[in-house]
Chain A
Amino acid sequence: MMTATADYLARLEVALRDVPHGIAAEIRAGVAEELRSLEPDAAEARIAQLGDPAVIAREALDAGGYAPPAAPAAARPDTVVSPGSVPVARSRGFAIAAALTLSFGGYLVPVVGWFVGVALVLLSSMWRTWEKLVAILVPVVLFGGLMLFSFAAFTTTGAVEVHEASGTGTPPEVENPLVPDLLLAGPHFLIIIAVAVVIPLSGLWLLWRMRGRTPQEPFPRTVSRPLGEEAS
């Protein structure tokens, strides 16, 4: 009956409290959509088939967790991965601190704060290499690109001035010294604004990317490479 479904979902909710939020939410949603699609009798049968919520939760932890090869098999049945066993650089807390330092460290300690954030992000194992590179390099490339653009604007302005100065001797119609200043100050101001916006976004993007990941095994395992080597 509906009560059996509700009861099971409530027990599942409690059992999944130690499972990473994203995965727990997906399990709950997957089980709920299945049970609610069934007639009461069928739902009860399915509940029996699903089994103890505590077992589901433990398997979710095991499946998301990284089991080192040296881990004794005998310890497995009763072992639930505890957050305390995770090395610091692999923990979610470390990753969150790293991403926030990358985002806002530069505001606290200009320039140096950002480099500290970069170091912490590189140390964390919560992201893939390409994600770290995107978060770190996009602001750098943006900064470099805008600086180059600004430099190009400067040299163009200089060329015009020289051309005008070596003209026919008639004074230029408008020799406004403010023009180059505006051309230079404008881009520089824009560069600072752009970088000040993009750097926080880079850290927040990392936080978004790590949602639902477990500290023990942030990266999907692939067997294609070992298989390829073995096959040759």
Chain B
Amino acid sequence: MTADVGAQMRKGVVEYCVLGLLAREPMYGWQLADALTESGLIASIGTLYPLLGRLRDNGWVTTFDQPSDSGPVRRYYRLTDAGVAQLALFRTQWRPFALTVSRLVGEEAP
């Protein structure tokens, strides 16, 4: 139980962070991996694709192919309507949740 607390928290929210990123614009795999690793939310691109697979299985994300300026066709990910709704739901719950946790953690501090 002394496992990396940060890792557990990241696991809980990283999918919604992907939804949040995709809500701004469709992104391709490396773009997402770069943004998420830079933020410390995932360790590598290896973590990203299982996560995207789950989002797609859930119907929150879909893909489309688009040729890139520099050569190969890229696979872009974008939110579906269900993904937009799910993100909205998460947003409504996140703030009260974070406040509750802060309050509880604060109360237990010495």
Is chain B found bound to chain A in the same assembly? yes
| Residue B30 is within 8 A (CB to CB) of chain A in the complex | yes
Interface centre among B51, B53, B73 (most CB of A within 10 A): B53
Give the secondary structure class of B's interface. Answer: helix
Say yes or no: B45 contacts A30, CB within 8 Å.
Answer: yes
B residues near A38, Cβ cutoff 8 Å: 70
Instruction: Give the A-B pair count, Cβ closer than 8 A.
Output: 109
Query: Would you call B55 and A230 a contact (CB within 8 A)?
Result: no
**Contact-residue size bin, chain A (C-beta under 8 Å from the other chain):** 35 or more
Q: Is the CB of B75 within 8 A of A30?
A: yes
Determine the chain B residues whose CB is within 8 A of the CB of A214 once the complex forms. 50
Provide the residues of chain A in CB contact with B54, threshold 8 Å.
220-221
Cβ-closest chain A residue relative to B54:
A220
Q: Please give the distance in Å from B29's CB to the nearest CB on chain A.
A: 3
| A31 at the B interface (CB under 8 A) | yes
Contact B93 A213 (CB under 8 A): no
Which chain B residue shows the least CB distance to A223? B12
Given contacts A27-B45, A60-B49, A63-B47, contact A37 B72 (CB under 8 A): yes
Query: On chain B, which size bracket covers the interface?
Result: 35 or more
Contact in complex: B71, A23 (CB < 8 Å): no
Docked complex Cα distance between A230 and B105 (Å): 13
Interface residues of A in 33-72 (CB under 8 A from B): 33-34, 36-38, 50-51, 55-60, 62-64
Residues on A with C-beta less than 8 A from B43 are 59
Most buried by B among A26, A51, A57, A62: A26
Per the 8 Å Cβ criterion, residues 4-47 of A in contact with B are 22-23, 26-27, 29-34, 36-38
A33 near B73: Cβ-Cβ < 8 Å: yes
Task: Name B73's closest neighbour in chain A (CB-CB).
Answer: A33
Query: A33, B74: Cβ atoms under 8 Å?
Result: yes
| Cβ contacts A to B, 26 pairs, < 8 Å | A26-B49, A27-B45, A27-B49, A30-B33, A30-B45, A31-B45, A33-B72, A37-B74, A38-B70, A50-B45, A55-B44, A56-B44, A60-B46, A63-B46, A63-B47, A213-B53, A213-B57, A220-B54, A220-B55, A223-B15, A224-B89, A227-B94, A227-B97, A228-B93, A231-B93, A231-B97
